[in-house]
Chain A
Amino acid sequence: MIPELGHFALILALCVSAVMGTLPLIGAQQKRQEWIALARPAAQALFFLVALSFASLAWSFLDNDFSVIYVAEHSNTMLPAIYRFGATWGGHEGSLLLWAFMLSGWSLAVAFFSRTLDDATVARVLAVLGLVSMGLLLFVLVTSNPFARQLPAENGRDLNPMLQDPGLVFHPTMLYMGYVGFAVAFAFAIAALIAGRLDAAWARWSRPWTTAAWVFLTLGIALGSKWAYYVLGWGGWWFWDPVENASFMPWLVGTALLHSLAVTEKRGAFKGWTVLLAIGAFSLSLLGTFLVRSGVLTSVHAFASDPRRGIFILLLLVVVVGASLTLFAWRAPKAAGGGSFGLFSRESLLLVGNVLLIVAAGSVLLGTLYPLFIDALNLGKLSVGPPYFNSVFVPVMVPVVALLAAVPLARWKNADFSDMARRLGWPAVAAVAAAAIVPGLMGGWTLLTVLGVFLATWVAGSTMVQLAPRLKSGMPPASFLGMQLAHLGVAVFIVGITLVGGYQEEKDVRMEPGDTVTVGGYPFKFIGVREVPGPNYTASRGEFEVSRGGKSLRLYPEKRNYFSSAMPMTEAAIDAGFIGDLYVSLGEPLEGQAWAVRVYYKPFVDWIWAGCVLMALGGLCVLSDRRYRASKRAAAAARESLERSAA
């Protein structure tokens, strides 16, 4: 019954989204108030129905209803309850339903938080969101119905053991919140293009939504990286896998968008470029969805692929992105103009950074799709992996990071080079000093470690130089603090990747109980291995003793054999520290009591994710700035500036 309810709710939701996507849009064009007024209630109804559908699916999992095929494929009675819940989005069909749920949630938020916008704009924005929902719901209902039944029901298979981890609860949810959040920026851009009104107001409305989506995406990517680090057993944190790239490209474009919106809002410039970025960020989200679910690229994340699904998503992509870009080509040329600015100014420097970020995203796209291009042209089969991406991405990003420190010091319209150079004097000195000293302390100088330490210190120093004077005269505005925090996060991130990349130590050894191995200066003693049962697995649990900071601690890496899967899963044991992780993972059992063991010392690895968290916190800080809360104060300020310009 419940699955049928969920299915029916989904069909109703499709109908609502069809109404939401058409009538308010036509109403706004023809100034029909009754149709415009449909937008907000439609968004509410859509959310209610999709939430109901999602809840039915989750309930089917929690209730172990194996007559639902999707539940049977991804769960069983022995799976702990929290993972039965997470399994709702553990497979293709359910994760799409999660997408739809979040899209309806964001649409509801837009309906709710847009009281100060005129109804016609809200109608257009919600209509675009409704159209996207319609496409998504159609896709789910036609090719990926999670409520399909099987009779008789049998006990289920299992959730992929790799997903039976707290990471499942947070990583996909944060990630999808980010992907889907960019749909809002997209909707605002399309609404503005349709209305023929690309102006600073549109940028101001878009900004908080874009920032929120960006925060979620940053956290989602960071969580995925951290999850891979501890669950895959060899301590890597980024593989340039196609699906990782699929999430990274929207992030790069989203970052460019955030900064471009700032210019459009303040100076009315770059309107066409910003709109294009807004379309681009969401298009890349959709493209990512296609890449993961169509079977077109090999990836560790790929869901089971079905050519029908691939064709449908491609059609969705063509319709959504094709229509947007056509609209862009038609309407954007009319929106020229905006404030003028000098060749060396904050605007132009931001634009340079923007362009470089897009080049970086473009390079990632090129590398990800290149094997497909070559294959499609019958020129053979190629692999493009980490060596390529690292060689190309780093050189493109170096100027971006260097700019990051300088641009906030540049003035609008006309930047004063000598003033900037003076203020950046001591960060430059600090950066050179750090680049000379730190690699030496860590173990040696290489081009990458010197460059990394230099850039990180350069950015951090610039942040200090900007913060110090402002803090002296009281609490600076939240948006300023947020920017500094986010930029500082970048510096912290760079410290992490530079030091762990340059100085990590790894030993792959054969150990018998009683043996020790020294890695990173820490002696690890192997005590032994015990068999330990789990709820739906049996594990070989190793015990290691290591002393750190004067204390002796125990690490318990496991090798789990899940009842449902032939491949054993490694659970690494990690002792996280401020300046480094101790990481132990069990390999295979050898003869007698011996085991193959991998021991790693990962210096500063947690700074990678700490940096990402700082970036997200910076974004949250910016969001809390009251400039974005429409208020009487803002209206009064606008009136004031109008009077002033008249005088």
Chain B
Amino acid sequence: MKRILVLLLLACASWIASAKEATPLAEDPVVEQRLIAISEEMRCLVCQNESLAGSRAGLAEDLRRELREMIRQGRSDEEIKTFMVSRYGDFVLYRPPLKPTTWLLWIGPFVLMAGAVAALLIYLRRRRGEEQPAELSNEERERARALLREGEET
């Protein structure tokens, strides 16, 4: 009996405290997480240097609304990307799709890295076989002495 009363009291108390935990702006945090992840990889077409996730432009809000709908309907990431690309082109994706025109972009750095390190190793091996610079001749040594003496006097 006492326990029920305590529980009832607690229930009333929490109801009385009208200050509450803030509701997420979005109704469904899981959907929102996915929305943020997808839209962060897309460009806002109006403020072209912000991602679709962060931009406050009107079109960005509209597009986020569309994307949210599609996520709720259970569409996959691929389908959502296709939706955007078929309307706005590859330009809207911050992660360039891998296609023949972007092979150089995606593979270039790694080919460059491998090639550069290989070229370096070849160079280093070849270099070991080269002569050391010649020792100073006596004449050159005298000249060096004279120059150093000069330098000290200034």
* Chains A, B in direct contact (C-beta < 8 Å): yes
Cβ of B58 < 8 Å from any Cβ of A?
no
B22 touches A510 (CB 8 A): yes
Interface members, chain A 581-620 (any B CB < 8 Å)? 587-588, 596-597
Cβ of B152 < 8 Å from any Cβ of A?
yes
Closest to A363 in B: B109
A642 touches B141 (CB 8 A): yes
A382 touches B26 (CB 8 A): no
Known: A342-B128, A382-B96, A509-B23. 10 other contacts (CB 8 A): A352-B117, A355-B116, A359-B116, A379-B101, A382-B101, A383-B43, A385-B95, A509-B24, A517-B21, A646-B141
Residues of A near B3 (CB, < 8 A) are none
Q: Nearest-CB distance from B42 to chain A (Å)?
A: 9
Cβ of A548 < 8 Å from any Cβ of B?
no
Cβ of B49 < 8 Å from any Cβ of A?
yes
Contact of A383 among B96, B113, B124, B145 (CB under 8 A): B96
Cβ of A384 < 8 Å from any Cβ of B?
yes
Q: How distant is the Cα of A19 from the Cα of B54 in the complex, in angstroms?
A: 52
Closest to A634 in B: B151
Contact of A366 among B24, B109, B125, B148 (CB under 8 A): B109
Contact of A396 among B22, B113, B128, B133 (CB under 8 A): B113
Residues of B near A300 (CB, < 8 A) are 49-50
How many residues on B have C-beta within 8 angstroms of the other chain's C-beta atoms?
56
Residues of A near B95 (CB, < 8 A) are 385, 387-388, 391
B90 touches A380 (CB 8 A): yes
Contact of B120 among A337, A351, A386 (CB under 8 A): A351
B22 touches A355 (CB 8 A): no
Q: How distant is the Cα of A300 from the Cα of B20 in the complex, in angstroms?
A: 39
Interface members, chain A 217-248 (any B CB < 8 Å)? 234, 236, 239, 241
Residues of A near B30 (CB, < 8 A) are none
Q: How distant is the Cα of A352 from the Cα of B102 in the complex, in angstroms?
A: 28
A384 touches B128 (CB 8 A): no
Contact of B22 among A234, A356, A386, A597 (CB under 8 A): A597
Q: Nearest-CB distance from B84 to chain A (Å)?
A: 12
1/0 contact string of B119-150 vs chain A (CB within 8 Å): 01100110110101101100001001100110
Q: How distant is the Cα of A391 from the Cα of B102 in the complex, in angstroms?
A: 14
Most buried by A among B22, B56, B127: B22
B24 touches A508 (CB 8 A): yes
B90 touches A382 (CB 8 A): yes
Interface members, chain A 348-382 (any B CB < 8 Å)? 348, 351-352, 355-356, 358-359, 362-363, 366-367, 370, 374, 379-382
A388 touches B141 (CB 8 A): no
Cβ of B71 < 8 Å from any Cβ of A?
no
1/0 contact string of A313-343 vs chain B (CB within 8 Å): 0000000000000000000000001111011
B94 touches A351 (CB 8 A): no
B132 touches A636 (CB 8 A): no
B128 touches A340 (CB 8 A): yes
Cβ of A632 < 8 Å from any Cβ of B?
yes
B112 touches A362 (CB 8 A): yes
1/0 contact string of A387-406 vs chain B (CB within 8 Å): 11001100110000000000
Residues of B near A419 (CB, < 8 A) are none
Indicate the size class of the contact surface on chain A: 35 or more
Residues of B near A236 (CB, < 8 A) are 54
Q: How distant is the Cα of A635 from the Cα of B113 in the complex, in angstroms?
A: 42
Most buried by A among B93, B132, B151: B151
> Could you write out 15 A-B pairs with CB less than 8 Å apart?
A268-B133, A337-B130, A339-B132, A352-B120, A363-B108, A374-B101, A383-B94, A388-B96, A509-B25, A515-B22, A516-B21, A517-B21, A518-B21, A635-B151, A645-B136
Q: Nearest-CB distance from A177 to chain B (Å)?
A: 26
Cβ of A507 < 8 Å from any Cβ of B?
yes
Cβ of B19 < 8 Å from any Cβ of A?
yes
Cβ of B77 < 8 Å from any Cβ of A?
no
Cβ of A298 < 8 Å from any Cβ of B?
yes
Which residues on A are within 8 Å of B, measured CB to CB? 116, 234, 236, 239, 241, 268, 298-300, 337-340, 342-343, 348, 351-352, 355-356, 358-359, 362-363, 366-367, 370, 374, 379-388, 391-392, 395-396, 507-512, 514-518, 525-526, 587-588, 596-597, 632, 635-636, 638-639, 642, 645-646
The 4 closest A-B pairs by CB, nearest first: A385-B94, A514-B19, A387-B95, A363-B109
B145 touches A382 (CB 8 A): no
Interface members, chain B 78-114 (any A CB < 8 Å)? 89-96, 101-102, 104-106, 108-110, 112-113
Residues of A near B94 (CB, < 8 A) are 383-388
Closest to B41 in A: A387
Closest to B95 in A: A387
Q: Nearest-CB distance from B139 to chain A (Å)?
A: 12
Closest to A395 in B: B110
B90 touches A383 (CB 8 A): yes
Closest to A232 in B: B54
B90 touches A596 (CB 8 A): no
Contact of B89 among A239, A363, A380, A391 (CB under 8 A): A380
B20 touches A515 (CB 8 A): yes
Residues of A near B149 (CB, < 8 A) are 639
B124 touches A596 (CB 8 A): no
A359 touches B133 (CB 8 A): no
A636 touches B141 (CB 8 A): no
Q: Nearest-CB distance from B105 to chain A (Å)?
A: 5
Contact of B41 among A298, A351, A385 (CB under 8 A): A385
B108 touches A298 (CB 8 A): no
Residues of A near B21 (CB, < 8 A) are 515-518
Residues of B near A367 (CB, < 8 A) are 105
B152 touches A381 (CB 8 A): no
Residues of B near A646 (CB, < 8 A) are 136, 141
Contact of A234 among B54, B91, B96 (CB under 8 A): B54
